[in-house]
Structure 1
Amino acid sequence: MGGWDILTSLAKYRSVLGILFGFLKDMGSLGNGHVIAKEIFERLNQDLTVAFDQLALILRDGERYKAFLAHRGASAQQLLDIVQELLDLFPGSAIRPLLYKALLRLSRASELHPACFPLYSLQRVGKQVAAGGFGDIWKGLVRGHNVSVKIMRAFRDSDIKAILKEFGREALIWRQLSHPNLLPFYGLFYVEERLCLISPWMENGHILEFLKNAPPDTNRVSLILDVALGLEYLHGEHVVHGDLKGMNVLVTPSGRACITDFGLSSIADAMTLRFTHSTATKQGGTARYQAPEVLLGEANHFGSDVYAFACLCYEILTGKVPFWEFSNDIAVSIKVIAGQRPSWPETTPNDALWVLVQDCWAQSFDERPAITQSFKDFWVLRLRRKLFQPQ
């Protein structure tokens, strides 16, 4: 072990821990075993901090980063596992985006995923219930619990490899996120050699289905605030959603809105990985919710998410898609690029909310507010009476 370099030490770290725990188990019969266990626990905590710091140094060094990305097979799997473990152990670190990106790039290059992802004993139930850009949604059961199963759609053989990479990328991003207003990620599964992403089943469906059957006095503004909090968390984690709309917001049994479908998400920095198999998927999203600069060919970014959030506010409050009166998406795109926006309905009299929506779908992205703590404060101050009025 003394001859290992730092990357080899990181790759083999978990196997060394296995040997150490074997020794510790053998010491269990000793009278002072608990003292030894406590000391080893403290040393392991120190070790993990050092390992985290060493990994950060590697990822900031161009040559060593290349060496990290060059690993394949068993050593790549070991590195993926330790990076994922360190991400889980240090949730508040400022360098998490750096580790995110490294995990994505090594997974993509090695065509492997962290070993903690796979699930077993999945059973599909009933028929397909929805379809997305790359996958079809089914209801399933895992150990008696209802789950949502997003199954990679069957493509031509030449497309399978690219689609697998995008599905794996979605899983990697989703796995790192944890917030009450984001749909949790359970793991991966293979059905008929097709990759699946597993998440909780939401009986209420997406937010528009929920509102169709909800009582008239349902607090829609509270649901919008749920989305704002979820989006604030995403942006705080340096993640762009890229396809925010009503169909990608589900409602929990307790009536809380949570964001889902990160198939078009990206780690937001200059090195962001792009979709490689078509112009349409690189741009991503749904035309009626896309900011003018995205319609003109720019990639999704934090500001375009804020624009889509404004369109979602309109949709939640009116029950209609933006520009519902126009059936042609191209016509809608032309109007948005020209600066037109949906008109505020008289049936939703809330001037403060209308001002906020106008700010969020401003023509220029640098005029839109960020989904940050200051934006949340702005939101609560303007809508306090609405948010806390008796139901």
Structure 2
Amino acid sequence: MIARLDKLFHEKKEAYTKFLDFRGVSAQRRLDLLQDLLDLDYYANVAAPKKHRLVKALIRLSGQAELYPQCFTLTNLLKEENPVAGGSFGDVYKGKLGDQCVAVKMMRVFGESDIDALLKTFSREALIWRQLCHPNLLPFFGLYYFQERLCLVSPWMGNGHIREFLKKESYGIDRLLSLILDIALGVEHLHKEGIVHGDLKGENIFVTDSGRACIADFGLCSIITSISSIQFTSSTRTRGTTRYHAPELHRGEDNDLRSDIYALACVAYELLTGNRLFPELRTDGAVALAVLNGRRPPRSPSCSGTPSLDSLWSLLQHCWEGEPPMRPMAGQIVERLIGPDIQAKKTESIADWDDTFTPRFRRYVAGSRPLPSLAEFEHIFFGDG
């Protein structure tokens, strides 16, 4: 099934275009089946580009048909009246889903002309977020509609984002190294899945009740692949937070895996020092000019004094290289963090949320739809030949 679909999406442009033209019940059936395929444990042994192409097809069909896989939908959610935070496109409310406290990211009301673009942004975030499952990534619980406004639902993080968490009390270097390793592990998983985050910063990293760092806010994510036959518009071009931008982004290039690495080092620096990046520079333009001229955050006493901090500072310098190919990959960063020179310890993985609220769990308990036979599958996707 997977091989036939991959060939369709990769090689048969006319058939792929026809696939993207499905609407209504026909589109819904294909979206549900695509998500079922993506949920298979079998996918652990499937080459990454094949999975990436299926995810891209899912996102494109969902966007054009304005539908989601049925397992995304949540019911019986209670939301507090006033928001607790806000972002570019939505406000965040605290809510309850059964006994689970949740964060409800609600689409903000804009002018009529902006609604379609905003819906696509939210939809794309939901679809990419839905495919991710890792202890250092905040899980996606599902979609909810409140007064016709789309909401993305995830566990409530009572400790707030990591910068708020670290302001409450001081922590030793071992604890800070564990948090940096948590973030690096999350980035490593994203990159293995072919996903560029595009906006890594302290405000997009949360700390669970057990003290584990989790990456969140996948609104700028893009899916990458070495195959160029499927056109896919990136939403990450020169967006994000300027102070975390690698030099190539200041030159107008797209976010990619290596720009995430640069931003990861910026986050690590902030955790170690407690300081905002380039606090003496007041404007984004001044920051961009400084970075393009080769300037990097200065070494502070909190980044010095022990062999592990010396090794960590060397790693940060490597991540801040001006030329993207010179930077390490996420997996190499993890290896150096846990290696003998730095010796960061992984935060113990404890259940910080109820997994029964995840779409993947709901898909299995809601009747466990069996996959169709090969003949049925071919008819669904390819018709009568």
TM-score band (shorter)? 0.7 to 0.9
Tell me the equivalent position of 1:357. Answer: 316
Q: CA deviation at 1:387?
A: 4.1
Measured in 2, the distance between the counterparts of 1:274 and 1:228 equals 23
Structure 1 stretches lacking a partner, 5+ long: 1-50, 276-280
Tell me the equivalent position of 1:236. Answer: 192
Measured in 1, the distance between the counterparts of 2:206 and 2:7 equals 40
Q: CA deviation at 1:220?
A: 0.4
2:35 to 59, 64, 84: 84
2:300 to 329, 333, 345: 345
Tell me the equivalent position of 1:8. Answer: none
Q: What TM-score, normalized to structure 2? A: 0.83
Alignment of 1:191-230 (within 5 A): 191-217=146-172, 219-230=175-186
2:82 to 127, 133, 144: 127
Greater relative contact order: 1 or 2 (C-alpha under 8 angstroms, separation 6 or more)?
2
1:182 partner amino acid: L
- Secondary structure of 1:116's counterpart equals helix
Tell me the equivalent position of 1:56. Answer: 6
The alignment status of 1:107 with 2:62, answered yes or no, reads: yes
Q: CA deviation at 1:384?
A: 4.0
> Between Structure 1 and Structure 2, how many residues are aligned?
332
Tell me the equivalent position of 2:327. Answer: 368
Measured in 2, the distance between the counterparts of 1:170 and 1:287 equals 21
Tell me the equivalent position of 2:254. Answer: 299
Measured in 1, the distance between the counterparts of 2:217 and 2:25 equals 31
Measured in 2, the distance between the counterparts of 1:338 and 1:99 equals 41
- Secondary structure of 1:347's counterpart equals helix
- Secondary structure of 1:128's counterpart equals coil
Q: CA deviation at 1:251?
A: 0.3
Rate the CA distance shift 1:383–1:146 in 2: closer, same or farther, 3 A. Answer: farther
1:311 partner amino acid: C
Q: Which moved more, 1:53-62 or 1:91-100?
A: 53-62
Q: Which moved more, 1:190-199 or 1:216-225?
A: 216-225
Alignment of 1:106-185 (within 5 A): 106-125=61-80, 127-185=82-140
Q: CA deviation at 1:53?
A: 3.1
Deviations 1:54-92 (A, max 9, x none): 322322222221121111111011100000000001432
- Secondary structure of 2:261's counterpart equals helix
- Secondary structure of 2:253's counterpart equals coil
Deviations 1:182-237 (A, max 9, x none): 00000001122111100000111101111111343361011000000000000000
- Secondary structure of 1:137's counterpart equals strand
Check conservation: 2:79, 2:95, Cα contact below 8 A.
yes
Structure 2 stretches lacking a partner, 5+ long: 347-385
Q: Which moved more, 1:125-134 or 1:241-250?
A: 125-134
Check conservation: 1:170, 1:263, Cα contact below 8 A.
yes
Tell me the equivalent position of 1:36. Answer: none
After the TM superposition, list the runs of 4 or more consecutive aligned residues in structure 1 that deviate by more than 6 angstroms.
none
Rate the CA distance shift 1:323–1:378 in 2: closer, same or farther, 3 A. Answer: same
Q: What TM-score, normalized to structure 1? A: 0.82
Q: Which moved more, 1:124-133 or 1:144-153?
A: 124-133
Larger radius of gyration: 1
Rate the CA distance shift 1:385–1:376 in 2: closer, same or farther, 3 A. Answer: closer
1:378 partner amino acid: R
Check conservation: 2:184, 2:333, Cα contact below 8 A.
no
Check conservation: 2:303, 2:313, Cα contact below 8 A.
no
